[in-house]
Amino acid sequence: MIFSASAIGLKLFGLASLAFHRRPEATSTEASENVAVSLLLDEWCRHSATNRNDPNSYATIRRIVVLRAAGKTVNEIRSEIFTEAAAEEAD
């Protein structure tokens, strides 16, 4: 279990780093951004009662990376993914 969470975290950092480097205004990856994105994923997993190695978590990681690459802030991403999760729960 610990290995899985660590592997997911490393994968997230790798994907997030690529997304941060693609933004012209972000020439280097800041550790604080990586930590914020990782904590956001942890928060989403707890809120949705989803394990980090679940396919839904991978989809959320991809969604977070796409939104960061589009220039969204962590707060905007949090709002968007939690709104999507609430809509899925309502269905």
Domain with 76 in it: 2-90
- 57-82: pLDDT as tens digits: 888 888 888 888 888 888 898 899 88
- Please report, for residues 9, 48, 60, the alpha-carbon distance to residue 54 in angstroms, rounded to integers and kept in the order given: 13, 11, 10
**DSSP character at residue 60:** H
Predicted model pTM: 0.58
- 10-53: pLDDT as tens digits: 455 555 555 554 555 554 556 777 788 888 888 888 888 777 77
Quote the number of domains for the chain. 1
